[in-house]
Amino acid sequence: MSKFWSSLARQVNPYIPGEQLNDETIIKLNTNENPYPPSNQVIQAIDKESKNLRLYPSPTIDELRSEIGNMYGLSQDHIFIGNGSDEVLAFSFMAFFEPGKRIKYPEITYSFYPVYAKLFNISFEQIQLNDDYTIPVEHFYDSDGGLIFPNPNAPTGIYLELEEIKRIIENNPNHVVIIDEAYIDFAKESAVSLIDTFPNLLVIQTMSKSRSLAGLRIGFAIGNPELINGLERIKNSFNSYTVDRLAIAGAIEAIKDNKYFQQTTSKIIESRSYLEKQLEARHFDILPSQANFLLVSHKEVNAEILYQKLKKQGILVRYFQKPGLENFLRISIGTPEQIDKLLKKIDHIIKPSP
């Protein structure tokens, strides 16, 4: 604590991201990165763009917005681009949630939401999940100040059907409903199709997971132009250029190379099924995930111990020291080779030699 800190700097409760070790021998299955590299087209576009770095990026990012819009049959006025979906989320809390009015989000969810709420002085109600970790739809009706949840939810991976999301939006006509679709490309379908019907729906996506670009920082929001305009107002009061030239150039190609995107996404979904079956055979309980990770717990071995032992043997998975998650591990879906190594280590840990 410093006497020079503002009361805000004193009161915040910063987010702690998953460990980022600088050790290439470690198998990193802890931060939901894509195990496959980005498309070659992305790399080539970055290489070409690097000659223009002396110039500021586009402040309006029209080309990328139009590319993303096209993908969903929407105009670029429906698209907002930010520095990762975290920045888009932060701007959304500022643009649509009101201090003094209570927002709702699930009790088990992306742990950045309470951090934003604290930072922007937004009060909140955490809605307890059902016993099977699904979202209790009716409890999200009639919010006082708006609501937010990921679909699929994180870190459960559980997907909520569009019909249910529709019911939630219909029952919150005067507030913004934010669906955080960081993992949607590994799931059934996006809520973007509801945007034309609901002016209060904002969908947030990222290129960090399904487009293999965690290192490039591209997130985006899709919504009614009125909502997009609100985000622009906040962003332009904060930093005119939050997305750099190389990120813009790379992101455009990541959208354009749809074939590569489909291939890698399918491979991950296949690997997810494989890992699920293999872990079931090893007496794990597994939540039904539509994301690029599984939330699992072993019937006998304690999660924290398993996490520590895997780490010692060169495999990082995510352990959350949080109420309700004490006995879970979140395992990102790696390549088939990484998964087989993981399974071997697990076999070694849970079945010690007699």
- Of 171-210, which residues contact its own copies (CB under 8 A)? 174-176, 199-200, 208
5 is an interface residue for its own copies by CB under 8 A: yes
25 is an interface residue for its own copies by CB under 8 A: no
Specify the 3-state DSSP secondary structure of 267. helix
- Contact with its own copies (CB under 8 A) among 77, 125, 164, 232: 232
169 is an interface residue for its own copies by CB under 8 A: no
Segment lying near its own copies (by CB under 8 A), choices 56-64, 68-76, 266-274, 319-327: 56-64
Q: Residue 32 CB, nearest distance to its own copies (Å)?
A: 10
DSSP readout, 69-128?
Answer: HHHTT--GGGEEEESHHHHHHHHHHHHH--TTS-EEEESSS-THHHHHHHHTT--EEEEP
Find the helix or strand (DSSP H, E) in which 202 lies: strand 201-206
Phi, psi of 105 (to 5 degrees): -150, 165
Q: Residue 273 CB, nearest distance to its own copies (Å)?
A: 22
Interface with its own copies in residues 73-92 (CB under 8 A): 83-84, 86-87, 90
Q: Residue 349 CB, nearest distance to its own copies (Å)?
A: 26
Angle at CA 317, nearest 5°, toward 89 and 34?
60
Interface with its own copies in residues 29-48 (CB under 8 A): 31, 33-38, 42-43, 46-47
Q: Which long-range contacts (CB under 8 A, 24 or more apart) does 273-281 make?
A: 274/336, 274/339, 275/331, 275/333, 275/339, 275/342, 275/343, 278/339, 278/343, 279/343, 279/346
Q: Residue 253 CB, nearest distance to its own copies (Å)?
A: 12
Q: Residue 340 CB, nearest distance to its own copies (Å)?
A: 20
Check: CB of residue 168 under 8 Å from CB of residue 194: no
Interface with its own copies in residues 103-132 (CB under 8 A): 115-116, 118-119
> Count residues contacting its own copies (CB under 8 A)?
84
Q: Which is nearer to its own copies, 98 or 340 (CB)?
A: 98
Interface with its own copies in residues 239-298 (CB under 8 A): 239-247, 250
Q: Residue 309 CB, nearest distance to its own copies (Å)?
A: 24
Q: Which is nearer to its own copies, 129 or 230 (CB)?
A: 230
C-alpha atoms less than 13 angstroms from C-alpha of 49 in its C-beta half-sphere: 20
Interface with its own copies in residues 127-166 (CB under 8 A): none
Q: Residue 112 CB, nearest distance to its own copies (Å)?
A: 8
Angle at CA 89, nearest 5°, toward 317 and 124?
90
DSSP bridge pairs for 286: 296
What is the distance between the alpha carbons of residues 309 and 315, in angstroms, rounded to a whole number?
A: 9
Phi, psi of 307 (to 5 degrees): -60, -45
Q: Which is nearer to its own copies, 105 or 133 (CB)?
A: 105
Check: CB of residue 146 under 8 Å from CB of residue 172: yes
Q: Which is nearer to its own copies, 43 or 305 (CB)?
A: 43
What is the distance between the alpha carbons of residues 331 and 328, in angstroms, rounded to a whole number?
A: 10
Q: Residue 288 CB, nearest distance to its own copies (Å)?
A: 26
